[in-house]
A = this chain, B = another copy of it.
Amino acid sequence: MILDQAASRLEALGNPTRLRIYRSLVRAGSQGSPVGRLKASLGIPSSTLSHHLKTLLAVELVTQERQATTLVCRANYEVMHELVGFLVEECCADASCGSAAGNDAAA
Binding site for B on A (CB under 8 A): 3-4, 6-16, 19-20, 23, 26-31, 75, 77-78, 80-85, 87-88, 90-97, 99, 104, 106-107
Are A23 and B7 in touch, CB under 8 angstroms? Answer: no
User: In the complex the two chains form, what is the Cα distance from A99 to B16 in whole Å?
Assistant: 26
In the complex, what residue of chain B is closest to A82 when comparing beta carbons? Answer: B107
How many chain copies does the complex carry?
A: 2
Are A7 and B3 in touch, CB under 8 angstroms? Answer: no
Picked from B10, B88, B92, B94, the residue with its CB within 8 Å of the CB of A13 is B10
User: In the complex the two chains form, what is the Cα distance from A88 to B6 in whole Å?
Assistant: 16
Are B104 and A91 in touch, CB under 8 angstroms? Answer: no
- Given contacts A16-B4, A104-B78, is CB(A30)–CB(B84) below 8 Å? no
